[in-house]
Structure 1
Amino acid sequence: MGLTLYPAIDLKGGQVVRLKRGDMREATVYSADPAAQARLFAAAGFRWLHVVDLDGAFAGRPANAGAVQAILAASPGLPIQLGGGIRSMGTVEAWLDQGIRRVILGSAALKNPQFALAACRAWPEQIAVGIDARGGMVATEGWADISTMPATDLARRFEDAGAAAVIYTDIDRDGMLGGVNLEATLALARAVRVPVIASGGVASLNDLASLTAVAHEGIEGVIIGRALYDGRVDPAKALALAEGGSIGG
Structure 2
Amino acid sequence: MTLNVRDLSVSLRGEDILNQISFEAKSGEFIGLIGPNGAGKTTLLRAIMNFITYHGEVAIEDVPTVKMTHHERAKWLSYLPQERDVAWPVSVETIVGLGRHMQRSAFASLSPADHQVIADAMAQMDVAKFAKKSVQELSGGEKARVLIARLLAQGSPLILADEPVSGLDPAHQLSLMQCFADLAQTGKTVIASLHDLSLSAHRCTRLIMLEKGRIIADGTPQTVLTAENLRNVYKIEADISHKDGRIYIQPEAVVQS
Q: Give the TM-score band, short-chain normalised.
A: 0.3 to 0.5
Instruction: State the TM-score, normalized to the length of structure 2.
Output: 0.37
Q: Of the two, which has the highest radius of gyration?
A: 2
Using structure 1 for the length normalisation, give the TM-score. Answer: 0.38
